[in-house]
Amino acid sequence: MVVQRDLTPAADEALRQTKREIWTYQCSGSLGTLQPYSYYRMEPWVTWAKGYKGFGFCWTMANLDSPRSNVYSPYTYGSDGPVPSRGWQAFWRGTRDWTTLAALRDAIQAAREAGQAEKTAAAEQVLQQAAAEVVTHPQDATRADRWRQQLLDQMLALQ
């Protein structure tokens, strides 16, 4: 099931009760009006914090005759060809953040299965706090980077 990420808490809970796999997406405005960090990079973090399984965003080729004038495209055309937008780059960074969150989750599980449960407490705490801290400060463009570093540090500590 694919839903917008800004559901009410009651709607969120009702969806969780269905036990279906839930993904989020964003679809509002044009690239020129959207903030790269809060709109694109935050999408994976919000999805992780909600416990959903995946994320994306909607864009359209509304004007197939001229991609240069398409305000919804994740890239623009420069003199040497396509140039990724800041939004597209922020989304890419968000996907790397998601990968790091998942890698730490998997490292915690592996440590637990290897009988090293005592090493997992700090990592579990960081994993739980990271998404909550990032999503509650959507205008702090440095927060995701700081937490991503802490996630990586915890992965190293589990080795």
- 159 Cβ partners below 8 Å, 6+ apart? 107
Task: Give yes or no for residue 31 having a pLDDT over 80.
Answer: no
Number of separate domains in the chain: 1
Q: Which tens digit of pLDDT belongs to each residue from 40-87?
A: 899 999 999 999 998 877 665 455 555 555 555 666 677 887 777 788
Task: Give yes or no for residue 139 having a pLDDT over 60.
Answer: yes
Tell me the pLDDT band of 5, cut-offs 50, 70 and 90: confident
Mean pLDDT, residues 116-145 = 93
pLDDT score, position 124: 95
Indicate the pTM of the whole model: 0.84
| Residue 24 and residue 2 in contact, taking contact as beta carbons nearer than 8 Å | yes
pLDDT score, position 83: 77
Q: Which segments of the chain does DSSP mark as H helices, in order?
A: 9-17, 42-50, 86-113, 120-135, 143-157
Tell me the pLDDT band of 30, cut-offs 50, 70 and 90: low
User: Residue 144 sits in which domain range?
Assistant: 2-157
Mean pLDDT, residues 14-24 = 89
pLDDT score, position 101: 97
Which of 59, 60, 77 has its CA nearest to residue 68?
A: 77
Task: Give yes or no for residue 104 having a pLDDT over 90.
Answer: yes
